């Protein structure tokens, strides 16, 4: 009877490193999207955003007053002002710059980036958990779970020595 092959340690490490690369590239792309979104929020006038939401929801709500998505957008718009817009823009821009920078440094194998990335993502997980304790959201819960997974992947890569010792 044949014994099952024991996975080669190098193949396992290569798979872990590939997972690390994929996760970090996705975080970097997410950061780039946040930069675009934050820039758009900072540059588009509040009135234009509110008019756009009104245009998108008016017909739908007249046809179906119980439409969940249209009602959620309309409700969101009633609480959307310039201050909220600037906070969201700043948040997205800060988060985007940090993600793109950390992803770049991690992909270059810079040792200092590993603990900084772990702390950065852990702070956002803590903030998300606080928000979830106030009001549960499946979407925020899913993104928080992905951030926890990202922290684990980065920590594992750091523990195994990373890509290069620079």
Mean local confidence (pLDDT), 117-135: 95
* 3 within a domain of the structure (yes/no): no
DSSP annotation of 132 reads H
Distances (CA, A) of 141 to 112, 118, 153: 29, 19, 18
Q: What six digits make up the tokens of 67? A: 């439409």
> According to the model, what pLDDT value does residue 166 have?
39
For 113, the 3-state DSSP assignment is: helix
Q: What is the mean pLDDT of the chain?
A: 89
Q: Where are the alpha helices (DSSP H) in 44-67?
A: 46-63
What is the pLDDT, as a whole number, of residue 165?
Answer: 39
What is the reported pLDDT for 137? Answer: 87
Q: Mean pLDDT throughout 83-97?
A: 93
The reply to whether 88 falls in a domain is yes
Q: Please tell me whether residue 130 adopts helix, strand or coil conformation.
A: helix
The share of the chain scoring above pLDDT 70, in percent, equals: 91
Whether residue 32 has pLDDT greater than 80:
yes
* Predicted local distance difference test score (pLDDT) of residue 61: 86
Inter-residue contact 158 to 24 (CB < 8 Å): no
Closest CA to 72 of 86, 61, 82: 61
Least confident of 61-65, 98-102, 108-112: 61-65
Mean pLDDT, residues 42-71: 90
Asked if residue 2 belongs to a domain, the reply is: no
Q: Is the pLDDT of residue 3 over 60?
A: no
Q: What is the pLDDT of residue 4?
A: 55
Residue 55 has pLDDT above 50, yes or no: yes
Identify whether 166 is part of a domain: no
Residues 109 and 107: their CA atoms lie apart, in Å, by 5
Instruction: Give me 54's structure tokens.
Output: 């009104």
Please tell me the predicted confidence (pLDDT) of residue 161: 83
Burial of 109 (0-12, 13-18, 19+ CB in 10 A): middle
Q: Is residue 4 part of a domain?
A: no
* pLDDT above 50 for 16: yes
More confident residue, 13 or 142: 142
* Tokens coding 105: 């440094």
Percent of the chain that is helix, strand, coil (3-state, to 5): 80, 0, 20
Q: What is the distance between the alpha carbons of residues 15 and 58, in angstroms, rounded to a whole number?
A: 50
Q: Evaluate whether residue 46 is within a structural domain.
A: yes
Is residue 138 domain-resident?
yes
Full domain range(s) for residue 114: 10-159
What is the total count of domains within the chain? 1
Helices and strands, number each (H, E), in the chain: 6, 0
Say if 103 falls within a structural domain.
yes
């Amino acid at each position: 009877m044949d014994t099952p092959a024991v996975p080669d340690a190098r193949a396992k490490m290569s798979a872990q490193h590939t997972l690390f690369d994929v996760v970090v590239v996705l975080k970097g792309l997410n950061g780039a999207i946040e930069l675009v979104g934050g820039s758009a929020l900072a540059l588009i006038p509040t009135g234009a955003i509110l008019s756009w939401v009104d245009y998108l929801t008016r017909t739908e709500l007249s046809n179906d007053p119980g439409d969940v998505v249209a009602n959620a957008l309309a409700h969101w718009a009633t609480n959307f002002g310039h201050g909220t817009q600037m906070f969201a823009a700043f948040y997205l821009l800060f988060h985007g710059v940090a993600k793109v920078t950390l992803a770049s440094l991690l992909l270059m194998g810079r040792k200092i980036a590993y603990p900084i990335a772990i702390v950065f993502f852990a702070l956002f997980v803590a903030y998300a958990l606080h928000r979830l304790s106030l009001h549960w959201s499946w979407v925020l819960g899913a993104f928080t779970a992905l951030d926890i997974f990202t922290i684990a992947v980065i920590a594992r890569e750091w523990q195994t020595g990373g890509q290069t010792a620079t």
